[in-house]
Structure 1
Amino acid sequence: MTKTDLVEKIQASIGLSRKDAAVMLESVFSIMKESLEAGETIKISGFGSFVVSRKAARRGRNPQTGEAITIEARKVLTFKPGSVLRDAINGEAV
């Protein structure tokens, strides 16, 4: 599913114009992006949580040369589905 598909589904279900649906979706994505950049967790009831966590620097190996390298510390984004979403995906009654 693409962003365009989401805009079309919003348009069909709410009755907004395509332009208004696109603006609304972009606004939601922008708010989510800003929150995640600030390190906040986003919890959406019935859907799941987006969590930013830190990975420490660690030793690694270049698979081509076998040379030891240091993999720098970084932030990673993870998504943990809520039980309602997990049950829906697995076809279980909610």
Structure 2
Amino acid sequence: MTKAGMVEQIKEKADLQTKVLAEKVYDAVLESVRDALVSGESAMFTGLGSFRVVQRAERAGRNPGTGEVIRIPSCKVVRFTPGKKVKAMLS
């Protein structure tokens, strides 16, 4: 789903008057999630799941062009863990 589709869904489901208001809601939610993740917190959505930042360990990789083994440094990544309801719906 694209941002436009998500904004349309928010407008309809929240019974908002305009798409501009729905887009402000969308932007505010994303900004709140981003702020939480940047500060090291997790962002939990009851009924959906949670986003959290984890440290990925350094590992060995391979250059696909040359086959040379390279070192991939450790880095922080965002992980999503689906909630029980989402897992059940997908099964």
Identical-pair percentage: 37
Displacement of 1:57 in angstroms is 1.7
Give the structure-1-normalised TM-score: 0.85
Moved over 4 A (4+): none
The one-letter code sitting in structure 2 at the alignment partner of 1:53 is V
What is the total number of aligned residue pairs between the two structures?
A: 90
Q: Equivalent residue of 2:67, what SS?
A: coil
CA deviation profile, 1:42-89 (whole Å, cap 9, x unmatched): 121111111210012223222321222211111111111111111122
- CA distance in 2 between partners of 1:7 and 1:59 (Å): 41
Instruction: Name the Cα RMSD after superposition.
Output: 1.3
Is 1:62 paired with 2:76?
Answer: no
Displacement of 1:39 in angstroms is 2.0
Task: Structure 1: give runs of 5+ residues left out of the alignment.
Answer: none
Displacement of 1:7 in angstroms is 0.9
- CA distance in 1 between partners of 2:23 and 2:34 (Å): 16
The one-letter code sitting in structure 1 at the alignment partner of 2:6 is L
Task: Structure 2: give runs of 5+ residues left out of the alignment.
Answer: none
The one-letter code sitting in structure 2 at the alignment partner of 1:8 is E
